[in-house]
Chain A
Amino acid sequence: MALEVDGRRLLEAAHSSAGLAGLRLAFYMWNSRYVRYVRVQRRADPALAAFLEPEARQTEEKFQETSVALDASSRPAPGDIHEIKPVVLYVSPLGN
């Protein structure tokens, strides 16, 4: 199981029990920048598949299909970190 943030692999679990109850991945960041996408990768594990109920396995597979990772075309290049932009509005007597 691994955690990837903006294309950079931050954490990787090497345990064979990956995906079973007990293992957690977490990350925390200061809010001075923002993250384009987070991708959680789970290694295909026959032990896990055997452990899960069919309904739960469907959920797992569905999760893999609709993970939080963006489309390849939307992904920023590694290291392409953008600063948070302030919101700017204008008000005018001639406004809409």
Chain B
Amino acid sequence: MAEPLPDGSDGPLATIAAARDRLRQIKREQGLFGGATVWIRGGRYRLDAPLVFTPEDSGTRIYAPGSKRKGLDHMRRPHDPLFYLDAGVTYAAYGDETVIIDGGQTISGWRHEQVNGCTAWVADLPEVREGRWTFRQLFVNGERRGRPRLPKQGFFWIEDVPGLVLPAAWGMSGQTAFVCCAGDMQAWRNIEDVEVVVIHFWIEERFPVASFDPASRLVRLGRLSRAPLSDDYQSRYAKYYIENVFEALKEPGESYLDRPAGRLYYLPMPGERPDNTEVSAPRLLQLMVLEGSPEEGAFVEGLRFEGLEFCNTDWRHPGEEDTPAVRQACYAQGKCICGANLRLLHRLRATCRVSSPCGERADARWSIVALPMAVGMARNWARVARISRLSATNSSIWEPAASKSTALIGLIRPS
């Protein structure tokens, strides 16, 4: 039923997860031999957990030799999709309506405070203070807002790296500390939340600051670098910038999350007022997960997703929270849409829009688009119809060997 009854006795389901569960029940009790379509009416569907699809949610395979390839039965193979009737399960936007799968939470209750000489919007977030929530980026009226960085333009240069002899090369061991130039770094507020972003070779590396000694200007990093802290193969040390510095919160559009205090600061862009601005903070890293169990011979298949928009997710740097370490020219993360161990047979299709994968400021933006493809999906068809707010000159594909939790990733970086 597309519309709810006035008395509330019947009508559409309220959540996609409820529709998925209803289909599971129907499949158990009477089978899904005719396939199923879940029409999703326009609106915003906020998730408090990723939508998980397992082999139980697959479309039903109906073996019907000769139904589509008459006279060639003698050539049939066990898994030839041409011999299976289409009894798939489709989750699709209803008509031209806009369906938004939202992993964020709207921030409200703003008050105004003077911060670094600017008028900032400030909101208290108790869950952040209690350590139950954190995020790296904001979405304001659907646009990503970054964190304050230094220098505002260009880069700093490392003055010295203890133990590193120049020129260095890719493949040499990394370092965990460097000496910055005088004045580049200070003992800022929440120094453990400050990130050093090194751009060298063909990778971007991000390091939390473990400690900073103003006397020696020694910066200790929270992890070992993937490559030596040199400027590629040159006889000089690497360039970098610093991100998430409260004292650098001075330009419109920047935001800062003070985790110990549980306080979010945002400097509004011209024309933005609390009454005409929607600020969303991501709560989820993933919105949809498709996961099969190949060891049990169970795969996710026969699913289609059409016309859905996914937005407001967060991301973590490789190496954080069990994500894989930095690879060459590729961040491998299970992101917004994630699939693993799905099946062949052209039976998982997606025509959706991913509008908020991870990304940074416009001057050094990395964006990750995760397509629902993974191990064993060579013959599936997946297409992102519209990719917004991304610019790209390069993309790469990474296929994990036997991972159950990571998807094929297309990494897009601007020139």
User: A-side interface residues toward B, CB under 8 Å?
Assistant: 30-32, 34, 83-96
Q: CB within 8 A of B33: which of A84, A92, A94, A95?
A: A84
Q: Are A86 and B12 in contact (CB under 8 A)?
A: no
Q: Is B19 part of the contact surface with A, judged by Cβ < 8 Å?
A: yes
Contacting residues, chain A, for B35 (C-beta < 8 A)? 86-87
Q: Which of B2-10, B105-113, B161-169, B344-352 contacts A (4 or more CB under 8 A)?
A: B2-10
- How far apart are the CA atoms of A37 and B294 in the complex, in Å? 37
Contacting residues, chain B, for A32 (C-beta < 8 A)? 62, 64, 67, 85
Q: Binary interface profile of B, 74-115, with partner A (CB < 8 Å = 1, else 0)? A: 000000000001010000001000000000000000000000
Q: Which of B41-49, B124-132, B273-281, B359-367 contacts A (4 or more CB under 8 A)?
A: B41-49
Residues of chain B at interface, number, CB under 8 A: 37
Contacting residues, chain B, for A83 (C-beta < 8 A)? 34
Q: Are A91 and B34 in contact (CB under 8 A)?
A: no
Q: Is B402 part of the contact surface with A, judged by Cβ < 8 Å?
A: no
- How far apart are the CA atoms of A95 and B3 in the complex, in Å? 8
User: B-side interface residues toward A, CB under 8 Å?
Assistant: 1-4, 8, 10-16, 18-19, 22-23, 26, 32-41, 43-45, 62-64, 67, 85, 87, 94
CB distance from A1 to the nearest CB of B (A): 29
Q: Are B34 and A87 in contact (CB under 8 A)?
A: yes
Q: CB within 8 A of B14: which of A85, A87, A88, A92?
A: A92
Q: Are A85 and B11 in contact (CB under 8 A)?
A: no
Identify the closest chain A residue to B8 (Cβ).
Answer: A96
**With A95-B13, A96-B10 in contact, is A89–B64 under 8 Å at CB?**
no
CB distance from A21 to the nearest CB of B (A): 32
A sample of 11 more A-B contacts (CB under 8 A), given A31-B63, A90-B12, A91-B40, is: A30-B64, A31-B64, A84-B34, A90-B1, A91-B13, A92-B3, A93-B41, A93-B43, A93-B44, A95-B11, A95-B41
Q: Are A89 and B38 in contact (CB under 8 A)?
A: yes
Q: Are B12 and A88 in contact (CB under 8 A)?
A: no
Q: Are B12 and A91 in contact (CB under 8 A)?
A: yes
CB distance from A67 to the nearest CB of B (A): 21
- How far apart are the CA atoms of A88 and B89 in the complex, in Å? 10
CB distance from A54 to the nearest CB of B (A): 38
**With A89-B39, A90-B13 in contact, is A96–B85 under 8 Å at CB?**
no
Instruction: Identify the interface centre among A34, A85, A94, A95: most chain B CB within 10 Å of its CB.
Output: A95
A interface secondary structure, majority: loop
- How far apart are the CA atoms of A71 and B327 in the complex, in Å? 68
CB distance from B24 to the nearest CB of A (A): 12
Contacting residues, chain A, for B8 (C-beta < 8 A)? 96
Q: Are A88 and B44 in contact (CB under 8 A)?
A: no
- How far apart are the CA atoms of A91 and B1 in the complex, in Å? 9
Q: CB within 8 A of A91: which of B18, B33, B67?
A: B18
CB distance from A15 to the nearest CB of B (A): 32
- How far apart are the CA atoms of A92 and B15 in the complex, in Å? 7
- How far apart are the CA atoms of A92 and B94 in the complex, in Å? 10
Smallest CB-CB A-B distances: 5 pairs: A90-B12, A93-B43, A92-B41, A84-B34, A95-B14
**With A90-B1, A93-B43 in contact, is A85–B12 under 8 Å at CB?**
no
CB distance from B238 to the nearest CB of A (A): 49
Identify the closest chain B residue to A30 (Cβ).
Answer: B64
CB distance from B170 to the nearest CB of A (A): 50
Q: Are A96 and B11 in contact (CB under 8 A)?
A: yes
**With A31-B64, A32-B67 in contact, is A92–B2 under 8 Å at CB?**
yes
Contacting residues, chain B, for A95 (C-beta < 8 A)? 4, 11-15, 18, 41
**With A85-B34, A96-B11 in contact, is A90–B23 under 8 Å at CB?**
no
Q: CB within 8 A of A87: which of B16, B37, B41?
A: B37
